[in-house]
Every structure is written in structure tokens, then in C-alpha cells.
Amino acid sequence: MNLTKENVRKFLGWSSVINLGLLLYWILVITLGNEFVFQIHNWWFDIPHDRFDEIHYTMMGYFKLAIILFNVTPYLVLRFIKFDPQTSIGKE
């Protein structure tokens, strides 16, 4: 498989879909099963419930930002620019 702009675009697209799916799963688990997940974490680490929520929502925000910066934005750039799919990256 050649490293073409089209292949990179497809990779970033599927990476975005998978990462957004993981983020959605994380949000659903924390939203719907908050008490259960807290009990599991509290068994491992002695943290208060408000600190637990703060940690999870902060990390969800960082994860969402990373997805946007490193997956979605490059995908959109490659999607909207005009390029020749036969040209490989690095070749002039």
C-alpha cells in the first residue's frame, strides 16, 4: 500500500470515527452508570465523588480536543483541498 494523500485521508477518517465512538461510549458509561463506575474507582483509589466527576469530565474534554486537533482537522483539510490521488506524499 502506497502512502498517498487519499490513504492518509481514509486513515484519518476512520481514526476519527473510532475515537469519537470511544468518546461517546465513555460519556454514556459515566452518565448512565456514574455510581457503579465511581464505586469501582473508589475501591482502587480513595477519592471523593466530586473529584471523580471533575477528573473524568476534564479528561473527556482533553480527549475531545485531541481528536479534533489530530484527527478531524487534518481529515477535513485533506478532504477539501484538491489533490491528485496518484501523487504520493513527499514526491514532487
Q: Which amino acid is at 72?
A: V
pLDDT, averaged across the chain = 90
CA count, 13 A, side-chain hemisphere, 30: 18
Q: How confident is the model at residue 84 (pLDDT cuts 50, 70, 90)?
A: low
Residue 71 near residue 19 (C-beta atoms within 8 A): yes
Are 60 and 23 in contact, with CB atoms under 8 Å apart? Answer: yes
Mean pLDDT score, 10-16: 96
Interacting residues of 60 by C-beta distance below 8 A, sequence separation 6+: 23, 26, 27, 30
pLDDT digit string, tens, across residues 42-81: 999 999 999 999 999 999 999 999 999 999 999 999 988 8
